Amino acid sequence: MPTYIVLSNLTDEGRKTIRQRPERIKEVNKEIESMGVKVREQFAVLGPYDFVNIIDAPDNETVMRMSVEIGSRGTIQLLTLAAVSADDFIKILK
């Protein structure tokens, strides 16, 4: 299954929600999984992004649907990158 990296920033509304209900993070992960996207790893980070997620999804279309659904709520902004492992990248180049 293809792997994607999702970089995200909370909006002001998203920060309020997380502050009041930190468990909302896990609830959203379950919602994402119901859309056919597996959250493999999730990190809260310092720097220009608030979270980094490693996800697996069957195809770009599934990730696009998830991104629009989650982003349309107004609590988070997402930047999604398709990822290829270094080993697979080497195979592609040979």
Could you tell me which CATH class the domain 3-93 is placed in? alpha beta
Domain coordinates in residue numbering, the chain: 3-93
| pLDDT 10s digits, 32-91 | 999 999 999 999 999 999 999 999 999 999 999 999 999 999 999 999 999 999 999 999
Cα separation, 72 vs 27, whole angstroms: 17
Global pTM?
Answer: 0.91
Burial of 79 (0-12, 13-18, 19+ CB in 10 A): exposed
Give the CB-side neighbour count of residue 41, counting CA atoms within 13 A: 7
Cβ neighbors of 38 (< 8 A, separation 6 or more) are 1, 55, 56, 57
